[in-house]
């Protein structure tokens, strides 16, 4: 039931080319499959899974309690609903500043 995938997704090189050409880059945020379907139907270039899901989905006052496991889960949900947009996901607070090895592992 997921979106049919084309052979290629929008790439970082295409984003760079659009920026150099002065073209607008269209991004939306999604946290789940239905949100991803909406973004995909709109034909956006990028879909972001933000750590703001802590506020928007979990009702937390900040994003500080969002875990890597939560980010991975929501990223998988969004991935299943997009077909051509580039998928970008935040890393939880401090998950990338614990050292190079830990950042790469995450």
Instruction: List beta partners, residue 88.
Output: 48
75, pLDDT greater than 90: yes
As a whole number, mean pLDDT of residues 52-62 equals 93
Integer Cα distance of 91 and 104 in angstroms:
11
As a whole number, mean pLDDT of residues 93-100 equals 76
Integer Cα distance of 103 and 75 in angstroms:
17
74, pLDDT greater than 60: yes
By percentage, how much of the chain surpasses pLDDT 90? 75
54, pLDDT greater than 60: yes
Q: Where are the alpha helices (DSSP H) in the chain?
A: 12-20, 33-42, 53-56, 68-79, 100-105
């Amino acid at each position: 039931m997921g979106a049919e995938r084309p052979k290629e997704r929008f790439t970082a090189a295409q984003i760079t080319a659009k920026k150099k050409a002065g073209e607008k880059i269209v991004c939306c945020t999604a946290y789940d499959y239905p949100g991803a379907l909406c973004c995909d139907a709109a034909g956006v270039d990028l879909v972001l899974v933000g750590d703001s899901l802590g506020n928007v989905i979990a009702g937390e006052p900040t994003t500080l309690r969002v875990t890597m496991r939560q980010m991975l889960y929501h990223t998988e949900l969004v991935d299943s609903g997009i077909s051509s947009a580039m998928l970008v996901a935040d890393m939880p607070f401090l998950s990338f500043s614990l050292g190079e090895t830990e950042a790469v592992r995450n």
